[in-house]
Amino acid sequence: MSTVTDYQFAIGDGVTTAFDVMNPDGNISDTPVVTTLYKTDWQGKQLLYTTARTNKILRSQTLQTTWTAAQASVVPNVIAAPDGTTTADFIKEDAALNSHYLSQAVITTAVNHDFSIYVKAGTRSAILLMNLTAAVGSYFDVANGALGDLEGAPVARSITDMGGGWYRCSITSLCTAAANTFVVYLAEAPTTGAFSYQGDGVSGLYAWGAHLAVTTQGQAYIPTVAVAVVIIDYSLAGSVLTLDPAPLDRALLAWTGTDNNAAFNPRQDGTSMSGKFGTQGVV
């Protein structure tokens, strides 16, 4: 029995969902105790869960559908999103002296929720994310990757550099056990009151990948279409981890826990599943 700490044991291929848990000796671990499992891909290093996670936002990547647009419109699929697909939308303001925004009402429970979206500066470079029902939110400067002023007092907020000019902007708010309305406002500046201004009919910014989840479920992004999506990141049976969805091509998997067998433990068919996709140099 030995302790394993953040050991990279497999590389995804975009298709495979089942992986042997390998120990640092390159052998299959017999009934390992996996205390943490991480996946690293375009989102960075993400903690995976054995309990259900849900993205409650609908149409997370198609912002022209289901979302309510006010004094704004959405031009779909104009540039590459953070995951490399050409699915990022352009939110364009109209020419009104007003607020310019997208919103969606979501039934929530009375606990803290994280609301986030990936944003890239265009001819506008500031947004305001709000839980309108709770009357809390935060401005973000997506030209410089900086936090702006507050609206009310959100529980927490963050801005994360995703590379390529993209930032993931997030607020945490205490929701009510009812419909809560979440809003993405264009803003003239990342300052209080700047969400209402004279539009020019052409300016805007890029957005993609809206996500709303209970805070204790982490923030790893889950894409949605017509309904909320619930996933369980992984399950462990013996020495085999099954992941949902399949890790992306070249995604890295690493685990921490207890290895209960340091001896060589080949699969019955004589192969190592993890070895097919790379374990510490084995490919």
Each residue's pLDDT tens digit, 113-151 = 999 999 999 999 999 999 999 999 999 999 999 999 999
pLDDT at residue 265, rounded to an integer: 44
The reply to whether 159 and 31 lie within a common domain is: no
The reply to whether 30 and 62 lie within a common domain is: no
The C-alpha angle with vertex 160 and arms to 89 and 244, in degrees rounded to 5, equals 75
Q: Is 281 contained in some domain?
A: no
The reply to whether 148 and 201 lie within a common domain is: yes
pLDDT-derived band of residue 68, with 50, 70 and 90 as boundaries?
A: very high
pLDDT at residue 1, rounded to an integer: 81
Q: Token digits for 223?
A: 């894409």
- Report whether 134 contacts 217 (CB < 8 A): no
Sheet containing 234-237, strands listed edge to edge, beginning at the edge strand earlier in sequence: 18-20, 240-243, 234-237
The reply to whether 219 and 125 lie within a common domain is: yes
Q: Is 192 contained in some domain?
A: yes
The reply to whether 151 and 241 lie within a common domain is: no
The reply to whether 113 and 46 lie within a common domain is: no
pLDDT at residue 273, rounded to an integer: 44
pLDDT digits (tens, 9 = 90+) for 205-237: 999 999 999 999 988 999 999 999 999 999 999
Cβ-based neighbours of 177, under 8 Å, separated by 6 or more: 108, 109, 110
- Report whether 127 contacts 137 (CB < 8 A): no
Q: Is 283 contained in some domain?
A: no
The reply to whether 64 and 181 lie within a common domain is: yes
- Sign, CA dihedral 21-24-28-32, equals negative
The reply to whether 152 and 241 lie within a common domain is: no
Q: Any bridge partners for residue 73, and if so which?
A: 92
The pLDDT of residue 77 is above 80: yes
The reply to whether 252 and 186 lie within a common domain is: no
The pLDDT of residue 99 is above 60: yes
The pLDDT of residue 275 is above 80: no
The reply to whether 201 and 244 lie within a common domain is: no
Q: Token digits for 36?
A: 């943490």
Distances in whole angstroms, Cα of residue 85 to Cα of each of 71, 124, 229: 28, 22, 20
Among the listed residues 77, 71, 70, the one whose alpha carbon sits nearest the alpha carbon of residue 201: 71
The pLDDT of residue 269 is above 60: no
Pairing between β-strand 136-141 and β-strand 126-131 as defined by DSSP bridges: antiparallel
pLDDT digits (tens, 9 = 90+) for 34-55: 999 999 999 999 999 999 999 9
Cβ-based neighbours of 201, under 8 Å, separated by 6 or more: 92, 93, 94, 95
Q: Is 282 contained in some domain?
A: no
Q: How far apart are CA 257 and CA 80, in angstroms?
A: 37
Q: How far apart are CA 67 and CA 58, in angstroms?
A: 8
Domain membership of residue 244 as a residue range: 2-50+233-276
The reply to whether 86 and 154 lie within a common domain is: yes
The pLDDT of residue 19 is above 90: yes
- Quote the number of domains for the chain: 2
The reply to whether 190 and 134 lie within a common domain is: yes
Q: Is 214 contained in some domain?
A: yes
- Residue 187: give its domain's CATH number: 2.60.120.260
Start-to-end Cα distance in the chain: 26
